[in-house]
Structure 1
Amino acid sequence: MQEKPDPLRDSPSYLLFELLRLARRTSARIFPGERVRLPHLMVLGCVARLGPLSQREVSEHLRMDAGDIVGLVDTLEEAGYVERRRDAEDRRRYALGVTEAGRLFLSAARERRDHLDALLFGPLAPEELEQFTHLMLRVLAHHDPRFTARPPGRPADRGSHAGR
């Protein structure tokens, strides 16, 4: 019996979904038992870059549900990567700050992210990876202004990891 062509293979949204699944499987395989995953790193990176911030501010900046942020911050605090401190300007609220251990972990996580990127995008030439990254950023920027400005050195330097 001959298999019929899969119409989903022509859908960019379906392919993106499958690519995300591949990234999750690969990450779980190469970093087994890791409690801190991408959502945690998003929170940690946000606080490291913009902090100190309240949990509400982190939620708004990352466009994540405030209830989800609480659990992520709890895990990060238990790991010693963030601290909840009373806000000096408003004693009723807490501000999140990154600890030195959190900064070190974030640096190591960037190295692991680069390794994951190299595994996932290894089939692409550096210029193809740069173009792919640019196209994803363009789509995201159309829907979300956070993606309009490209951080210095990105995405061009990411292409250097594809050949490893």
Structure 2
Amino acid sequence: MPRVNLSLTQDMYDRIEKEAKKQNITVNYYICEMLEERFGKRTTYDYTVAVGEMIKEAKKMDKEFTLADLPTFADVNEVLVEYKIKESPAQIRARLGKMFNEAVKKGTAKGVERATTIKDGEEQLKFYCRAAVYVNKLNQIKKGDN
């Protein structure tokens, strides 16, 4: 995938960042979305909707999970085929993963956090086969109340 390096004034960047934050997406994706609206002539993958669905699915999880356990993430191939979208599943999943992780970091996915483990006496982020592991803390709290 080609990359573009933009040099913007701080004021322009701040305005773009503000609009991107309103939509809970990255500046990079916000700019890509604008360019796609202006120059795109094909159906594109709607990352904003997909990440929103992934957050809903994550909030229903009752044990630790990776993104591959979320139906929206797992079903990327089918969506691409159904809508004849000319992007690779790997590119879509990489961007979805970054956006989901950003939502978790910023607290947009309320209750969903990165899972941790204790290794050599230190708390570390948990991975399963190099994939980030997440946990729905709200479900853990509910289970503890029963």
Same fold (TM over 0.5): no
More strand by share: 2
**So what's the TM-score if we normalise by structure 2?**
0.29
More helix by share: 1
Task: Flag the structure with more relative contact order, 1 or 2, with Cα contacts below 8 A and sequence separation at least 6.
Answer: 2
